[in-house]
Amino acid sequence: MAAPNLLRTINETRVLNLLFQRGPHSRADIARELQVTRSTASALVAGLVQRGLLLETEETADVERIGRPGFVVKLNPNARTYVGVDIAVSELRIVALDMGAEVIASLTIPYTDPATPDYVVGLVREGVDQLLADNDLAISSVEGLGVAIPGLVETNGVIVFAPILNWRNVDIKAMIEDAFDVPLTLHFDNDANVSAFSEGYRSEASSSGTLAYLLMDSGVGLGVLHQGQVFRGHEGIAGEIGHARFFGAVGDEADFAATPTFEDMVGREGVLRLCERHRVPANSIRAFVKLAKSGDSGAQRVFDLWARCLAVGVANLCVILNPDEIVIGGKTAALFSIDPTRVHNEANRHLRFMFKTPTLRTSALGVLAASVGVASVMHRQSFAVSANTDGALSA
């Protein structure tokens, strides 16, 4: 039989999740939704209000009722802060979420020195301190700090390999712990995985379907969210689609290692190489997109090549995963806006039989998807029942 403290913790967690997913409720509504007695619901709410996790307020004007206004309870957005850091190839992207998982602050810090582990971790501390100070947030309110990595990172916080940064076997967890003089709950994850999580965290559709997130920057990664859970594969390295080789002939004399990868064709460097080859005067993705949208013939020719190569990857995703939705994120995703229907139509041309291209769109969060995603992972973890023997609520 479960201990009373654990039962209370479970029910408190259910209250918090109900209010997070569906907004303010009265005590009576909470009792009905969670199938507990009115007295139990009142006791749970009273305890959470006392601890500052919930606020009690009069019902809003759009609630129809007869008689005197009642009271509802809702999450206290200021009770906890969740910080997400995205270690990108040329900059740090930091966000803070409140207890309702809403973005309340963000900060982007370009690198001014080579992106060595020591330099970047020092910048993480400086950036988090600046973000908190600029928004009157206390470090004591930070429930969790998540870090997104452009590469393979183990659950113990060791970066096995981040090719874009050229980092190998970096104990990022130990370095972050040393950089901060206060204890923090930490989480480390692949940037594409948490980007997929960010798109689906508050979406009912993604909790029952499959969402594929193509993170396209200097590298190209894939995050797969299936029924609300990130698919990681046997060794946690699922989704490395950038290393897939879709192009070139295969035969006894073919050099497989020499054939271009998906990343070579559709990543940032691939686009800029095509610009150089076709004499398009663009040295950045932003400049290229501007030229293509202005009607420059060379830029449009490069975009056409990019769209056709991306469509090959999209068609393969459709055949392998059959997703409900494919989201394109990262800085290179800006090319998609040049002609949003081009990739969709080209992918359809490659597909056969019952397969068809699903909804294809750019990320709603833009370049902040990974930082929001890893902070959202921390948010979800804090709404789970703690494994502590005393049943203490992790939120």
Q: Are residues 120 and 229 in the same domain?
A: no
pLDDT: which is higher, 333 or 233: 333
Number of domains in the chain: 3
Domain-located, residue 190: no
Residue 357: predicted pLDDT: 82
- Flag the least confident range among 66-75, 258-267, 364-373: 66-75
Summarised one tens digit per residue, pLDDT across range 96-106 is: 999 999 999 99
Q: Are residues 175 and 246 in the same domain?
A: no
For the cut 70, the answer to whether the pLDDT of residue 203 exceeds it is no
**Which domain does 142 fall in, by range?**
81-184+371-382
Domain-located, residue 391: no
Residue 66: predicted pLDDT: 52
Q: Taking a C-beta distance cutoff of 8 angstroms, is the pair 232, 197 a contact?
A: no
Domain-located, residue 387: no
Residue 354: pLDDT band (50, 70, 90) is confident
Residue 6: predicted pLDDT: 82
- Rounded to the nearest 5 percent, the helix, strand and coil shares of the chain are 45, 20, 35
Q: What are phi and psi of 40, to 5 degrees?
A: -65, -45
Of 182, 83, 158, 167, nearest to 124 by C-alpha is 83
Domain-located, residue 189: no
Query: Domain of 21: which CATH number?
Result: 1.10.10.10
Domain-located, residue 196: no
Q: Are residues 108 and 17 in the same domain?
A: no
Average pLDDT score, the chain: 88
Q: Give the max Cα distance, the chain.
A: 84
Summarised one tens digit per residue, pLDDT across range 361-384 is: 999 999 999 999 999 999 998 888
Q: Taking a C-beta distance cutoff of 8 angstroms, is the pair 147, 374 a contact?
A: yes
Distance CA 344, CA 315 (A): 9
Structural domain ending residue among the three candidates 45, 75, 105: 75
Q: Are residues 218 and 336 in the same domain?
A: yes
Question: What average pLDDT score do residues 48-59 get?
Answer: 89
Domain-located, residue 197: no
Domain-located, residue 376: yes
For the cut 70, the answer to whether the pLDDT of residue 62 exceeds it is no
Q: Are residues 85 and 109 in the same domain?
A: yes
β 186-190/142-149 pair status: parallel
How many angstroms separate the Cα of 98 from the Cα of each of 18, 58, 102, 144, 232?
A: 16, 22, 6, 11, 27
Residue 368: predicted pLDDT: 96
Q: Are residues 344 and 328 in the same domain?
A: yes
Residue 239: pLDDT band (50, 70, 90) is confident
Question: What average pLDDT score do residues 136-162 get?
Answer: 93
Residues 6+ away with beta carbon under 8 Å from 72: 24, 25, 26, 29, 56, 57, 58, 59, 60, 63
pTM for the complete prediction?
Answer: 0.88
Query: Domain of 336: which CATH number?
Result: 3.30.420.40
